[in-house]
Every structure is written in structure tokens, then in C-alpha cells.
Structure 1
Amino acid sequence: MTATEQYLIDTWRASQQGAPMPPPPGRDDVAVLRSLRTYEQARAVMEGRPARHPWRAALRRILVRPRAC
């Protein structure tokens, strides 16, 4: 069963029981990723490492890599 199918069943069940509707799937995904990034940056500072943005470092490695001709 997919997350969407489960959401539809839960929504129907909540409407039948008068309970609050469940959140749609994927609603908080961005917030979870942001909190994980913040946690990793805080951990880096506590360990004495620079708190750089991990995506920027990955993009720099990809974009600055010399191309083989």
C-alpha cells in the first residue's frame, strides 16, 4: 500500500469518527531535512570543525572538477 492510499484511508476513517484529519504525506519533509542540517552543523561546531553547508561543498566538488577531454 502506498503512502497516498494509506492517507486516503486514514482521512476517510477520521471523517467517519469525527477525529482531526491526518497530515498529508510529505508535508514535513523539508522541515526534517532542515533540522537535520542544523543538527549536523551544530555537531560540527561542538567538535571544533567549521560548520559549512554540506550541499555547497558537494556542488563545489561537482562543478569545479576538471573535465577530461
Structure 2
Amino acid sequence: TMAPSCPTDQLVLQVPAQPLLAGDTVTLRCRVMQDMSVSRVRFYQDEKDLGEVLRGTELPLSPLQLHHSGRYRCK
């Protein structure tokens, strides 16, 4: 069986508003805009699939390192 999917335009990637520095503790969160339940998402860094996230809709990047820089999205 396949899990129901959420339209990508309903997902919002939440990132910290402040500038980030190497060594910081950061968690990216993928949220749903409307009243839908999403239990698992995939994160992409510069269009590279980072694989399925084990922690549901969160991607921890701690401690933050230079190779973490890039454009992120979730799906």
C-alpha cells in the first residue's frame, strides 16, 4: 500500500530567520499549510535527495557545518 501524498505546493519549509554560523544547532521543519496530516517527508539540498527523514518532518543539521549550505526544499 502507498501512503497518501500531499501536494508539494501545500508544504512550507520553516528555517530560522537569523543568520547561521558554523557550530550552531539548527532543525529545518516541513509544515503543511492547510489542515492535512503529513507524517513523513523528503528533504532536498540543491536538488539532491537527502533520503527519507527518520524524524518525520524535521531535518536536524547539528552542529552546522559549511557543507550544509545550499538551497533546501521538502516534498
What TM-score bracket applies, with the shorter chain setting the length? under 0.3
Which structure carries more helix by proportion? Answer: 1
Structure number with greater CO (CA < 8 Å, separation at least 6) is 2
Which structure carries more strand by proportion? Answer: 2
Question: TM-score, structure 1 length as denominator?
Answer: 0.18
Q: Rg larger in 1 or in 2?
A: 1
Question: TM-score, structure 2 length as denominator?
Answer: 0.17
